[in-house]
Amino acid sequence: MSRRIAPGSMAAMIAALLALAACGGPSTEDKSPTASTESTAVGNESTAPPSALQSTDVCGLVSDAEFQQATGFALHGRKSWPGESPGCDWELAGDPPGLHKLSLNLRYRDGRKRFDFVTQSLPAVPDLGDAAAKTGGDINGTVWAVKGQTLATLNYSLPVGTSDPDAVVVPLMRLVLSRQ
CA gap 99, 24 in Å, rounded: 23
Angle at 51 between CA 46 and CA 57, to 5 degrees: 55
pLDDT at position 83, please?
87
Determine the pLDDT at residue 91: 95
What pLDDT does residue 144 have?
A: 97
Intervals of the chain under pLDDT 50: 1-53
Fold of 38-178: Protein Transport Mog1p; Chain A (3.40.1000)
% of the chain beyond a pLDDT of 70? 69
Query: How many DSSP H helices and E strands does the chain contain?
Result: 4, 7
User: Which pTM was predicted?
Assistant: 0.70
CB 103 within 8 A of CB 22: no
